[in-house]
Amino acid sequence: MINKTIAHSAATGSGASGYMRGSDVVPLYHRIYVILLQKLTDGSYPVGQSLPSEDELAVSFNVSRVTIRKAMERLEHEGRIVRQRGRGTFPLVQHASAQEHENRFMRSQISLAQKTNIVLLDYTFTKLPAPWQSQFGVKADQDVLRITRIRFDARSPISKTICYLPQEFAAYLPRETISSLPISASLTEAGIPLSRFKEHITAVLADSETAQQLEVDVGSALLMMTRWIEDDSGRTVELLQALYRPDRYEYRVEYQGKDQKGGADWKAMITDNHS
């Protein structure tokens, strides 16, 4: 049985120690901006409630108030927050037409993620499985960042996901910022362009470890989805392998005629069907 109390700390933690180990390639204020944006997006900072003060954030992140102010100024410029003299800083409601949510594929992922929580099982640097090394563009001796999560709601576990990323992306995704949102959404928020999505879906049987994590019998049928995501240059920036309980997850694609605008409409759904 999953200890669901772990999920909250994995989703909302803001410890400065892991954060400060991020790569110096990314400016410090930008890394703080990404963390604050993540918290605004996943609901850690609810609309109607004030954010911590600049002094409190500076202490929390162990940085100067000037660095915090620079990150906050960017959030204000983007219309994410509003500062009210004498009252504090408050999140602003983001409309569905906002640029970062225009992609229907991404919107569906975010919608699903906001209905669930996660347990972070693994955040480590490791070698990529050999069959994927050439397609991912790494050598056998190169490390990648691996993030493993269990997604669940109030009823049961839904999926197990293993995400591989270039190791330098740890600067954009410190361990304490990992929340219920898709990793791809976090990359988009960090300014990494995602241009091409490739998916492969098949069926597999649950091994003993996955069966325990997803609370199913060993040998139960699972949906396995492998997703490759590339940036504008064609570089693979994320490889995701997800295992879903078929009684809790539905994958749906609807196509429009060639003369109609909009193309395919992608949707992933949590179901309540009993197997």
Q: In what order do the strands lie in the sheet with 117-127?
A: 117-127, 143-152, 157-166, 236-244, 221-230, 196-205
In a domain, 76, yes or no: no
pLDDT in tens, 159-207: 999 999 999 888 888 888 888 888 888 888 777 888 888 888 999 999 9
The DSSP secondary structure of 189-245, one letter per residue, reads HTT----EEEEEEEEEE--HHHHHHHT--TT-EEEEEEEEEE-TTS-EEEEEEEEE-
Q: How confident is the model at residue 27 (pLDDT cuts 50, 70, 90)?
A: confident
Does the residue 58 lie in any domain?
no
Q: Is residue 68 part of a domain?
A: no
Q: What tokens does 99 get?
A: 């640029």
Which pLDDT score is estimated for 72? 92
Q: Is residue 275 over pLDDT 60?
A: no
- Report yes or no on 37 lying in a domain: no
In-domain check, residue 174: yes
- Whether 191 is in a domain gets the answer yes
pLDDT at 3: 42
Q: What are the tens digits of pLDDT across the range 58-96?
A: 999 899 999 999 999 989 888 889 988 888 999 987 654
CATH of the domain at 192: 3.40.1410.10
Q: How many distinct structural domains can be found in the chain?
A: 1
pLDDT reading at 25 higher than 60:
no
What pLDDT is stored for residue 120 in this prediction?
95
DSSP state of 138: -
Does 118 map to a domain? yes
Q: Which of 6, 8, 17 is nearest to 174 (CA)?
A: 17
Which residue from 91, 87, 70 is spatially nearest to 79, judged by alpha carbons? 91
Domain that holds residue 175: 5-14+97-270
Helix (H, G, I), strand (E, B) or coil at 88: strand
Query: Has residue 128 got a pLDDT over 80?
Result: yes
* Least confident span in 62-76, 108-122, 143-157, 221-235: 108-122
CA distance 239 to 230: 9
For residue 199, tell me if it sits in a domain: yes
